[in-house]
Structures are given as structure tokens and as C-alpha cells.
Amino acid sequence: MDALAMKMFQGYVVDFFAKGVPLSQIRICTDSVTSVLPLSQQKKDEAYYNVLNKAADKFMTDGWLADNEQRLIESYTSSLGIALNCLPMQYQSESLARIGQAIVLKDLQRGVLPQKPLTVPVMLGRGECALWVYDNVTMFQEKITREYVGGSRGMSYRICKGVTYRTGSFKGHPVERSQMEKVGIGSLVVTNKHFFFHCPTASIKIPYSKLVGVTPYSDGLEVHKEEAKPKRTVFQGFDAWFVMNVLNQIN
């Protein structure tokens, strides 16, 4: 019975995108379904998200979000109180992420910041807005160790128990070793002013004004900061396409 109720409920919701039926009218139909075949709120949410994902896949088939498609997505999510840049993990998809990111980038091009505030685990400054949040991101930071190595030549003479005198010379030189250390796994918050990385063991802020370069990878990016002794910082676990476009728009 749950499967039948879910199918009927979802079938009515699809009409929003397929036929342009307003959600207010669709709710009348879905209420008639659930009055006979009850559905939990969790199942209702699942139906709404499933329809949203199907619409996103269809809209992004050509790799471009048309203005009328954007208006449909925004109307749907606004009516349901859904934020594309902060979806529950189980309902996230590549198409939905690209649509949400495309909308944010279009707003930035017009000089507009997103109106729906995000709940983020960091303190934002005045005039600062969270644009996107990536979860399960791993941060690595370069650690440089220095040691003095060398050798000595000459002879040692035992003067008494526990006392030795060495003649000769010692030559050595400092050696630096670099390695990438894992800082932790947490959330990367992209704002209009900073990168914030937050995990149980660390909270780090990187101002865009201090960046001298960014290297994108297929699964993350490396940021190069303006420092007296610069160290490599890498964030891994997401597609850097959106971040690179944000930096281009802001700078």
C-alpha cells in the first residue's frame, strides 16, 4: 500500500514540472491520496525530492540551465522551503548540485548574493554570505621538518669513566623534509570572502585576499597563500568547478 500511495503522490507532484500545475493545486490532490492511503512525512519529503532530482536530470541533459527552467526550480524549492546548496545528504545528486551552483553563479554575475541563508558551523563576518557547503572534505597541510646532519673525523680519547675527549672536526648541514599531513575531515564553507574549513579538531579561515594562486584538481583544489613561509594546503573530496567560478566572479 505504501508503494501505491508513493507512486500516486509522486505522480501528482510531477505535474508541477510536466504541466505547470501550481503546488497549491497539487496539494489538494495529494491530500486526497493520503486521506485514503496515509503516508509518513518522511515518505512525502522523499517524493518531493525524487521529483526534484528527476527534473534536475532532465534540465541538465544539455549541460545548460535555461532561465525558464531556473524559474521552475526556484519556484518549486521556494514553495517547499528547500535550499539547493544545503540538501540532505541522501537527496543530493550531481545534477541538483550543478543547478544550485549555476543559480548562485548567475546571482553573483548580477551582483546579488543568495537570499536564503545557510546554516554553517562557522561565524561569518559582516556582509559575508555562505554560497555553498561541501561535506566530507579532507584537508591536508604541508609540514616541514628540519634537522642537522653531517659527520665528524678524528679520534676519541677516554680520560676517565664517562668522560671522552674528541679531536678532529665536524661538518654538517641543515636538511628540510616536506610531507602532507591530514588535518581532518569536515565541512568546507565557500563564502563571498573566505574559505572556512571546520572539523572536530580544527577550524581554519583563508581570506581570498590572501590567495596568490589556486590549483584545481579532479577531486579538490590546492590553495597558495601569501605568507612569509608559504605551506601547501589541499582540500580533497569535491569538484572544484564551482569554486573556481566563484573566485573568478569575486575577483
Give the model's pLDDT for residue 96: 87
pLDDT classification of 151: cutoffs 50, 70, 90: low
Nearest to 115 by CA among 76, 74, 154, 151: 74
- DSSP three-state, residue 177: strand
**Confidence band, pLDDT 50/70/90 cuts, at residue 173:** low
Name beta bridge partners: 199: 202
pLDDT of 170 over the 60 cut: no
Q: Are 154 and 166 in contact (CB under 8 A)?
A: yes
Q: Which residue has the higher pLDDT, 225 or 155?
A: 225
User: What DSSP designation does 204 have?
Assistant: E
Q: Report the C-alpha gap between 217 and 102 in whole angstroms.
A: 20
* Confidence category of residue 164, pLDDT binned at 50, 70, 90: low
pLDDT at residue number 114: 79
Query: In the structure, how many helices (H) and strands (E) does the chain have?
Result: 6, 9
So what's the pLDDT on residue 144?
75
pTM of the model as a whole:
0.72
Mean pLDDT of 142-170: 64
pLDDT at position 118 over 90: no
How far are the Cα atoms of 157, 164, 171 from residue 152, in angstroms, in the given order? 15, 15, 6
pLDDT band of residue 149 (cuts 50, 70, 90) is low
Cell of 129: 554570505
Specify the pLDDT at position 141. Answer: 92
Backbone angles phi, psi at 53, to 5 degrees: -65, -40
Q: Report the first-to-last Cα separation within the chain, whole angstroms.
A: 55
Asked if 207 contacts 194 with a C-beta cutoff of 8 angstroms, the reply is yes
Q: Which amino acid is at 110?
A: R
Contact (CB, 8 A) for 51 and 10:
yes
